[in-house]
Amino acid sequence: MKRPNYLAAARAIADAADIVLTTHINSDADGIGTSLALAIALERLGKRVRFACPTRPASIYAFLPRFGMAQTIDTEVAAKAMPACDLLLSSDCGDRKRLGACSHIPHGKLLNLDHHVTNDRFGDLNLVDEVATCSGMVAAKLLDRLDVDLDREIADNLYATLVFDTGRFMHSNTDAAAFRFAARLADLGVDVSAINRALTYTKKPHDLAVTRLGIERLRVDEQEPRLAGIALSKEDIAAVGEPEDWGEMVDIPRSLAGNQVAYLMRESKDGTMTRVSMRSNPPFQVAPVAQAFGGGGHLQAAGATFPGSLAECLREMIPRLRRQLHD
């Protein structure tokens, strides 16, 4: 594991006057919160800052300070039309294609800030700290190198990244460093219970309808009962309507007693691809399965886009997931 070079990243930011922040498609609280925290801090350093998202951020994250900064840039034409920046700073993204249209924003250097073990180091500069619990923690360490004091707005965004990526402190990446980081942010005045509620108890009736569909489609593998998941066809999704954010539906099969590996598969409208989210409990790993199909993530939380229908995806991936429980 290569040691992350925080000093080089800090110098790149110091040398840039105009910075565009971005994150991965279908971004979550870690990608959005990290970008917003950095945006607030970099503005305080006198930088010209913009925040471009390759897909529209879900409204569940609208409570985050400065959420209104987010600009959706979802076509190559729109990206290329943006004024050039000195530095394009990507947060929480494992490979360049996951930046979507935002990879085409005219820029000088590309700084890749992340914490995923499967990150392929696609930047001109790569600040990938694999020991960090979340990308927000990487951002906080970087801001320390830049001598930026964290204020309440920055801290609120960073706490959201931590809560999300630890699964409310239940995932295997919850370690002593995560709790120390949480304590540091709480000392800055973060209302931890309010952020937990905002990320958990803000579902709309349509979200619950989608959850009901997931429960109806829940399947436990007949050959390997420790494997369970939800497989949604294009017809299933069309019947209820696509939600803003698929959120944590993969946690439905994961919540079953005895489950060790869980998955969520969602077929595209035209049936040409299937998006897959996977979770596992240690020591079992799902990252190798994701990587086999061009995806990535964490050892116990990963995803990929399968180039085929839901039926083809099930036929290819289920045997691989079974093997992960025996290798």
Q: What is the pLDDT of residue 196?
A: 95
pTM of the predicted protein model:
0.92
Model confidence at 246, pLDDT cuts 50, 70, 90, reads confident
**DSSP 8-state code for residue 171:** S
pLDDT at 327 over 90: no
Model confidence at 245, pLDDT cuts 50, 70, 90, reads confident
Average pLDDT over residues 213-232: 97
Residues 95-108 as b/e (b if ≥16 CB within 10 A, e otherwise) read beebbbbbbbbebe
Which tokens is 140 given? 């906080």
Model confidence at 244, pLDDT cuts 50, 70, 90, reads confident
For the chain, give the percent of residues with pLDDT over 70. Answer: 100
Query: How many Å separate Cα 109 from the centre of its chain?
Result: 22
Per-position DSSP letters for 178-231, written without gaps between them: HHHHHHHHHHTT--HHHHHHHHHS---HHHHHHHHHHHHTEEE-SS-TTEEEEE
Q: What is the mean pLDDT of the chain?
A: 96
* φ and ψ of 220, to 5 deg: -100, 130
Domain edges within the chain: 6-200, 205-324
Q: What is the pLDDT of residue 308?
A: 97
Widest distance between CA atoms in the chain: 59
Provide CATH code, domain 205-324.
Answer: 3.10.310.30
Cα–Cα distance list, 270 to 218, 267, 273, 311 (Å): 23, 8, 8, 13
Average pLDDT over residues 294-298: 90
pLDDT at 1 over 80: no
Q: What is the pLDDT of residue 191?
A: 97
The yes-or-no answer to whether 6-200 and 205-324 have a common fold is: no
* φ and ψ of 66, to 5 deg: 70, 25
Cα dihedral sign for 251, 252, 258, 261?
A: negative
pLDDT at 247 over 80: no
Q: How confident is the model over 10-69, as pLDDT tens digits?
A: 999 999 999 999 999 999 999 999 999 999 999 999 999 999 999 999 999 999 999 999
Model confidence at 2, pLDDT cuts 50, 70, 90, reads confident
Model confidence at 197, pLDDT cuts 50, 70, 90, reads very high
CA atoms within 13 A of residue 105's CA, in its CB half-sphere: 33
Cα–Cα distance list, 14 to 21, 45, 124 (Å): 15, 9, 16
Q: At what angle do helices 135-145 and 29-44 cross, to 10 degrees?
A: 10
CA distance 129 to 116: 8
Average pLDDT over residues 277-294: 95
pLDDT at 306 over 90: yes
CATH H-level superfamily of 6-200: inorganic pyrophosphatase (n-terminal core) (3.90.1640.10)
